Amino acid sequence: MRTIYSPRHAGHAGNVELNSGAIVPAFELPRRAEIIRDRVREVGLGPIEAPREFDLSVAARVHDRGYLDFLPRAWPMWAAEGRGGTAMPFVFPVPGLRRDRPPEDIDGLLGFYAFDAGATFVEGTWDAVRASHDVALTGAALLAEGERAVFSLCRPPGHHAGSRFAGGYCFVNNAAVAAEYLRGRGHERVTVLDIDYHHGNGTQEIFYARGDVQVVNLHADPVREYPYFLGHADERGTGAGEGANLNLPLPWGTGIEPFMAALATGLAAIADFGPGALVVSLGVDTYREDPISRFQLDTPDYPGIGAAVAALGLPTLFVMEGGYAVEPIGANAVGVLTGFEE
């Protein structure tokens, strides 16, 4: 399997985040992507290739134009106020206390285009986001050209990014952009299968009213876990998308057996939907020692997940999402891929 990787992710570094009432170094670190890349090499998964360059026309079909225009301007506007450090929002429009009118001030704009304070900007953020987008689209293009499976080693991740909201370390929804690209390249139906620990709220929102892109999500139950406000089992899609969204929430403490049972349910729903291609939002924050998560998957469990996905027999693009136990992240993520290939 070919891996698409860009070193430009590394400019998105030194960010901080709010955690349990304190400002701490962000869990989403450059080392994550480097360790995964090194593991790809170590196990000989296949060639590691640079992305091609894409314009934002496909991204503009899943994201709001004003949002996409804001992302590259966020850091320059912040810096123009004489600020350094990490740009993050502190005020958000909530139902009843908002109008649909973008402010002009950087602090207002950061909140207007975010659902939490977790997608923070430094000087190199936009370039990294742009490269991550290209990494995803290059994988999608290779799939459209006939590859059976490709690994888009995206960083920053994307599945929390909605049509006009950043959050949860995510800016552009790489998996959604890839799925949209595949839709435009001959596949009538495409599925996004999200196995990150957290609900892919952005991906769900983007495709919620669409019947051509199915979204299947396995995640920690939002009753207890971030991102809290979406991800329940009764969210099934709306309008033309009715029935094309499937949430499989799981309790804290979930280990591999219930996880595989939920995965089997998700895979059966995908087979019923009959997509021409599959995009997997691959998060490995389901790992037992993940510092911000509460599932119990272990390193030897990951190849079985890949093998189960492979049994669908679909052209498959893996798009990297979360996973914050940094040292084991390579073995866990690449374990899914080697399991897929066996």
Residues in CB range of 9: below 8 A, 6 or more apart: 30, 33, 128, 131, 132, 155, 156
* Binding span for ligand SP5 by CB under 6 A among 75-83, 166-174, 185-193, 240-248: 166-174
Cα–Cα distance for residue pair 183/172, rounded to 1 Å: 18
Q: From the list 116, 285, 290, 301, which residue makes contact with Zn ion (rule: CB under 5 A)?
A: 285
Which of Zn ion, ligand SP5, none does 112 bind, CB closer than 5 to 8 A by kind? none
Residues 277-296 that bind ligand SP5 (CB under 6 A): 283, 285, 292
DSSP 203: H
Q: Which stretch binds Zn ion (CB under 5 A): 28-36, 172-180, 280-288, 312-320?
A: 280-288
- The token duo for 322 is 């979360």
Smallest gap from Cβ 130 to ligand SP5, in A, equals 18
Phi-psi region of 187 (alpha: psi -120 to 50; beta: other; left: phi over 0): beta
Contact assessment for residue 171 and residue 332, using Cβ atoms and an 8 Å cutoff = no
Q: Kindly state whether residue 221 participates in binding ligand SP5, applying the rule CB under 6 A.
A: no
Residue 226 interacts with which of Zn ion, ligand SP5, none, CB < 5 to 8 Å by class: ligand SP5
134 binds ligand SP5 (CB under 6 A): no
Contact at 8 Å (CB) between 72 and 109? no
| Distance set, CA 87 to CA 81, 100, 159, 240 (Å) | 11, 23, 21, 38
Query: Which residue in the set 283, 306, 328, 335 belongs to the binding site for Zn ion (CB under 5 A)?
Result: 283
Q: Which does 54 bind (CB under 5 to 8 A by kind): ligand SP5, Zn ion, none?
A: none
As measured in angstroms, the least distance from the Cβ of 6 to Zn ion is 21
Can residue 157 be called a binding residue for ligand SP5 (CB under 6 A)? yes
Query: Which residue is at the shortest CB distance from Zn ion?
Result: 322
Min. distance of Cβ 312 from Zn ion in angstroms?
23
Q: Which does 141 bind (CB under 5 to 8 A by kind): Zn ion, ligand SP5, none?
A: none
- Reported as half-sphere exposure (CB side, CA atoms, 13 A), residue 109 has a value of 18
Which 102-121 positions form the footprint of ligand SP5 (CB under 6 A)?
A: 118
Stretch that binds ligand SP5, among 5-13, 37-45, 97-105, 162-170 (CB under 6 A): 162-170
Measured from the CB atom, the residue of 225 and 275 that comes closer to ligand SP5 is 225
How far is 130 from 155, CA to CA, in rounded Å?
A: 10
Whether 249 and 235 have beta carbons less than 8 Å apart is answered as no
Out of 322, 328, 330, 339, point to the residue binding Zn ion (CB under 5 A).
322
Site size toward ligand SP5 (CB under 6 A) is 16
Beta strands, E only, the chain: 2-4, 16-19, 22-25, 48-49, 149-152, 190-194, 213-220, 245-250, 277-282, 316-320
List the Cα angle 5/10/16 in 5-degree steps.
130
CA distance 23 to 63: 29
Per-residue binding letters, 181-220, with Zn ion (x by CB under 5 A): ---------------xxx----------------------
Catalytic residue from among 12, 160, 199, 219 = 160
Where would I find the beta strands (DSSP E) of 68-174? 149-152
CA distance 205 to 170: 14
Burial of 81 (0-12, 13-18, 19+ CB in 10 A): exposed
Query: Does residue 198 have an active-site annotation?
Result: no
Catalytic positions are: 160
> Which residues here bind ligand SP5, judged by CB under 6 A?
19-20, 118, 157, 160, 168-170, 196, 198, 226, 283, 285, 292, 321-322
